[in-house]
Amino acid sequence: MQPQVGTTRRTRITSSRLLRALAGMVFLLSAASMAESQEPLGPPILSPEALNRVPQDFAGLPSILDDDPFFSPLLWPVDPPQGYTGPSGILPREMQQDSHFVPMEDRWRMGFPEWDRYGNDHPLDQDNPFQPGDILNPYRQNVLKGDYPILGQHTFLTVTAIEDLLLEARQVPTPTTPFESTGDPNSEEFFGDPDQFLLANNMVLSFDLIHGDSVFKPANWRLRVTQIFNVNHLVVDELGIVNPNVRRGTARTRADYALEEWFFETKLADTSPDYEFVSARAGSQFFNSDFRGFIFSDTNRMVRVFGNRNVNRDQYNLIFADQTEKNTNNFLNTFEDRHQNTFIANYYRQDFIWPGYVAQVSYHFNRDRPSFKFDDNDFLVRPAPIGVFAKHNVNAHYMGFAGDGHINNINISHAFYWVLGKDDLNGIAGQEQNINAQMFALELSYSPDWLRFRSSYFYASGDSDVFDKNATGFDTIFDNPQFAGGQFSYWQR
């Protein structure tokens, strides 16, 4: 078999050389016949018209005299790229030199030939390939959502606008105000009308400037700013709910602005040729310390050092959070200090024992320092107005093990946390308390085909004797659990 392949290849090369020789002979014979003819058929090859001709602006086959220095190359048309690219940040440094290669220095804005696949001029109600984009169309490639660099070849800007509206009609146990007044004189003495209506609207505008090819490697640096304008409206049917002053009525409307995210990120080091890195991020940022947000899930002031190792099989985080107060009515950030600090360290390993299963170990330390706070609606929130409501200090250590993924054909998500620490003056017990509490969550699901069978279980320890010196009731730092229904679950709302 091997000699036959070599023979065929030599035959092709010989045939190609023979064709080139025949073409050259035909060209020379034609030139000789033209020279001997009494009536010339046209101007000579090196006439001024040929030397000074305007370069062609259309695509064609390269000339047989393409290597002749007296002939200009064919200029191939440059097709525009898809989507809305904006102006290029690259100045061309090289011009086209021959008919075979067209230099394209902006590699992100190489175009495609225009093509109307169905011959209907790209109607809005059809998704066609190679369709031109528009600055206001986020469903096509767009420089404003990071598809093309805005500066050079490695700096991208992503602009995100979100309109988030929540309308909620609910019935929850609502106390009456028997010592002051009530809107319904014939109601019970303790529980009143449970009807409530909530409107919460967030208009979010975010700017994310990233330097680096984030698809292939971590960013060299990043700057992000997210601002939120919120309008919220609450209507209840009992007095003393929207404000302790019953003269404020049963409805409340607030409008607020918050600078929710503002941080700068930079890469500290590349630790291997496999895109392993160490980066740091400082400023107000979002962080979720586990898979389901059981212990700490918040956007707040933090310094975060993070990276990966073992070809991205392992990831780790080191966090120090200096938390700020939240707005009373919309839970957005303010610039007022909360007097609470949190340190977090966690480590993830992918394909732990089973392929597709991710395991995590974590440690949280929370120090809630003594403080005194009335919220924006004039309610006392810290210290809690129960028992001995005096300023006190809480130090808590959380040790946890969590996992998420699948073990063979069973999907699993679980978490276990054990918290130890000290409360130097518990409001209910009226004395110092030693903290010793646990939490466990497990969610299993099975999908044999297009159905999913899921079961969730959650356990948190309680306290059977609140007046001893042991606090065994479990509490979190700042949770936002996405478990057993997530934010739409009645129990988590």
Question: Using one digit for the tens of pLDDT, what is the confidence trace for 35-60?
Answer: 444 444 444 444 454 445 444 444 44
Residues 441-461 pLDDT 10s: 999 999 888 888 999 999 999
The amino acid occupying position 423 is D
Q: What is the mean pLDDT of residues 311-317?
A: 94
Q: Which residue has the higher pLDDT, 370 or 179?
A: 370
Query: Peptide bond before 385: cis, by omega within 30 degrees of 0?
Result: no
Q: Is 414:403 a contact under the CB 8 Å cutoff?
A: yes
Grade residue 471 by pLDDT with cuts at 50, 70 and 90: very high
- Token code pair at residue 39: 């009536």
- How confident is the model at residue 28, as a pLDDT? 45
Q: Residue 89's CB: how many other CB atoms inside 10 A? A: 16
Q: Is 423:388 a contact under the CB 8 Å cutoff?
A: no
pLDDT at position 335 over 70:
yes
Q: What is the mean pLDDT of residues 336-344?
A: 94
Q: Which of 76-80, 81-85, 108-112, 407-411 has the lowest mean pLDDT?
A: 76-80
Grade residue 247 by pLDDT with cuts at 50, 70 and 90: confident
Chain centroid to CA 318: 20
Q: What is the mean pLDDT of residues 159-171?
A: 92
Q: What is the mean pLDDT of residues 406-412?
A: 93
Q: Which of 122-136, 339-353, 452-466 has the lowest mean pLDDT?
A: 122-136
Burial of 238 (0-12, 13-18, 19+ CB in 10 A): buried
Percentage of residues in the chain having pLDDT higher than 70? 81
If you write DSSP's letter for every residue of 235-251 in order, what string do you get? Answer: EESSTTSS-SSGGG-SE
What's the predicted TM-score (pTM) here? Answer: 0.77
Grade residue 170 by pLDDT with cuts at 50, 70 and 90: confident
The amino acid occupying position 232 is N
